[in-house]
Structure 1
């Protein structure tokens, strides 16, 4: 598979993950035709894809391959027709923020998060991938995407102001309801318990607890007037995708908030597209904006080595220089975590002495083994109200053990488990709809028939990715 197609899927899943968290919080009740927030974003992503693909008036083979991953039909004529219909919506001229982003703005206001910026950043990343997938990034495509993102940002700013005024005046009954329901922030013990309850990651847990203890002891020494050594809290997370790096970073931000190290305790996720501008001289401003949004919390830079692609990459060097200055200027209210594969991260840190000196705490995330992958699957079942037969569990254990033992460079860890889980639910739904008046048990039970596709193996890569 084209690596860009895989990145597009990862990006759209990250958008859906943010919105699923908002959905689960139950703070937003306005719906579009009773759709869930992740479903609304999925429809928007399809529409954006169609708009960008047709912006140059042509549909290329690589673009069709990307679109096939998002449509149930593989017929190219059917997909082209759907893309043409979707392309008719002019996102850059829209006068209303999409409903799922209104929900994100509302969630940010109530929960003191910054999910809206993160989601718009991921939409921009997805759009850039769509533009690049055919290997020819045209000026008209870049301009169209830029107009769409600028429009979203402007609409989000307006929506924030309206929401802020509503909160201030207290005129909305719904806002009052949410304010009353708002849960208190989890305690330090709650957060450490959540960390310990994560599947696997024993070395990671030890490192996080050790870092937390080091900070707490340093704070106690300062309170007693004892000398305290300077402490660099910036970190490097290494490991394959799907090993929990972002989840642990989010927990760490909250832990540091609870011990008084960070004021907000939020996490801002970015990658190269969120820091590097399209035009020379604009990158510093983009980096500074990301830094400002992360102050009081953690700035998490995924695939940080992509910032500087080679020695001649002046855009990347500008981003790195701006980050180093920000780390110095905001040492008391900003922590930066760079993440990615082990070897490229080490090479990235060696490109600049300032990087190596500031990032001196490394945490490696091991791949999940077969038993741990099964435990993640069981967790997903429990979370969403599903159960399975013992024979089905046994077969799944064999599958995940084989998946781990034969893993290659594209091994997705927990992401592969989620793909398998979602595909099992698709097969289970096809079986259950044929039952006359299905019971609650019928709707919740995963049978051996629902996982049979795992062992038919029509295509090893499709099975691995959970799309057979």
Structure 2
């Protein structure tokens, strides 16, 4: 291993060198070289190729610049801590419990899944799996039941990430609600198993701020807060194009204009709190593909272009239709 590690890590953090090149300089020229980890009792090596694959997946996500920068910081921190250990200098344990704040459809769960695998390859986690839980999974029906359920889910998450979406629901029942017991148990587990799992609490920004004030021990235990901003009009169109391309569809010019106009109005409208970002785009695209199929059903010999092209009439914006509306769509398209 070369001795210019700090310089390379700094260059990588600033985006001046690509990941592949940074790893080569740090670990030697072989593309299959490995990163060693110093944590006692954990796996000794991490496969660099798998790490690169996960980084490529993360970089392929639209937006999420803060998350991508966070990964660079973690990568740099781990590398330097290992080098400090070799140099007989004091090292800091890495604590990565996180708060994810943002509206629905901004990629919080997707990022949590990628981070779990990434932390495994960096040697922070031994398993790299994700355990998704909600209030009903943690809160019991009688005294003592909640602590038991919470400890069981923490045990399942050891070696990986526990992800709690809408975490503030644990504090909504008042002083006598068993949700408070779940919070207390989580706080204790974070201390007892601080090197064995990562806890990510997610939800709307305002509610998460209020939730963190319900227990004095919570804020200090989450050193990382990631804000998931709403996607821009351009980013949402990129997401739509990606979804369509993966399914081998495309928007006609008129359909593109219709979708872009709807997204622009939605982003400028009142009630952005209920704006579901990529989730809304996915629903529009998936319903558009279904209506495209209905439109072409009686066409015995559709061309390749027709089989791929989504037209404006295929794009229905707004809420998912009721059953009678779907039936009416079907009948209208067949006439």
**Both proteins in one fold, TM over 0.5:** yes
Task: Output the aligned Cα RMSD.
Answer: 2.2
1:431 equivalenced with 2:295 (yes/no): yes
Residue 412 of structure 1 is matched in structure 2 by 276
Residue 198 of structure 1 is matched in structure 2 by 61
How far apart are 1:334 and its partner, in Å?
A: 0.6
How far apart are 1:311 and its partner, in Å?
A: 4.0
Judge conservation of contact 2:64–2:228 (CA < 8 Å) in 1.
yes
1:362 equivalenced with 2:225 (yes/no): yes
Judge conservation of contact 1:302–1:340 (CA < 8 Å) in 2.
yes
State how 1:5-84 maps to structure 2 within 5 Å.
Answer: none
Judge conservation of contact 1:299–1:335 (CA < 8 Å) in 2.
yes
C-alpha distance after superposition, 1:82-126 (max 9, x if no partner): xxxxxxxxxxxxxxxxxxxxxxxxxxxxxxxxxxxxxxxxxxxxx
In structure 1, C-alpha distance between the alignment counterparts of 2:156 and 2:163, rounded to whole Å: 12
Residue 312 of structure 2 is matched in structure 1 by 448
Q: 1:213 aligns with which of 76, 80, 90?
A: 76
In structure 1, C-alpha distance between the alignment counterparts of 2:303 and 2:169, rounded to whole Å: 51
State how 1:160-199 maps to structure 2 within 5 Å.
Answer: 187-199=50-62
In structure 1, C-alpha distance between the alignment counterparts of 2:296 and 2:239, rounded to whole Å: 24
Judge conservation of contact 2:116–2:130 (CA < 8 Å) in 1.
yes
Q: 2:266 aligns with which of 393, 400, 403?
A: 403
How far apart are 1:230 and its partner, in Å?
A: 3.8
C-alpha distance after superposition, 1:382-408 (max 9, x if no partner): 111212222322222222122222152
How far apart are 1:353 and its partner, in Å?
A: 1.8
Any unmatched runs of 5+ in structure 2? Answer: 1-46, 330-335
Residue 134 of structure 2 is matched in structure 1 by 271
In structure 2, C-alpha distance between the alignment counterparts of 1:270 and 1:186, rounded to whole Å: 31
How far apart are 1:198 and its partner, in Å?
A: 0.8
Any unmatched runs of 5+ in structure 1? Answer: 1-183, 455-459
Structure with the greater relative contact order (CA < 8 A, sep ≥ 6): 1 or 2? 2
State how 1:185-334 maps to structure 2 within 5 Å.
Answer: 187-334=50-197
Q: 2:215 aligns with which of 349, 352, 363?
A: 352
In structure 2, C-alpha distance between the alignment counterparts of 1:439 and 1:279, rounded to whole Å: 63
Residue 155 of structure 1 is matched in structure 2 by none
Change (3 A) 1:442 1:194: same
Judge conservation of contact 1:257–1:264 (CA < 8 Å) in 2.
yes
Q: Whose helix proportion is higher, 1 or 2?
A: 1
Judge conservation of contact 1:307–1:316 (CA < 8 Å) in 2.
yes
Query: Structure 1-normalised TM-score?
Result: 0.56
How far apart are 1:289 and its partner, in Å?
A: 1.2
Judge conservation of contact 1:216–1:259 (CA < 8 Å) in 2.
no
In structure 2, C-alpha distance between the alignment counterparts of 1:308 and 1:396, rounded to whole Å: 39
Specify the SS of the correspondent of 1:321. Answer: helix
User: 4+ residue stretches of structure 1 with deviation over 6 A?
Assistant: none
Report the count of equivalent residues. 276
Change (3 A) 1:270 1:264: same
Query: Structure 2-normalised TM-score?
Result: 0.77
Residue 95 of structure 1 is matched in structure 2 by none
1:421 equivalenced with 2:272 (yes/no): no
Judge conservation of contact 2:171–2:214 (CA < 8 Å) in 1.
no
Residue 15 of structure 2 is matched in structure 1 by none
In structure 1, C-alpha distance between the alignment counterparts of 2:61 and 2:183, rounded to whole Å: 33
Residue 49 of structure 1 is matched in structure 2 by none
Change (3 A) 1:270 1:354: same
In structure 1, C-alpha distance between the alignment counterparts of 2:110 and 2:116, rounded to whole Å: 10
In structure 2, C-alpha distance between the alignment counterparts of 1:411 and 1:428, rounded to whole Å: 25
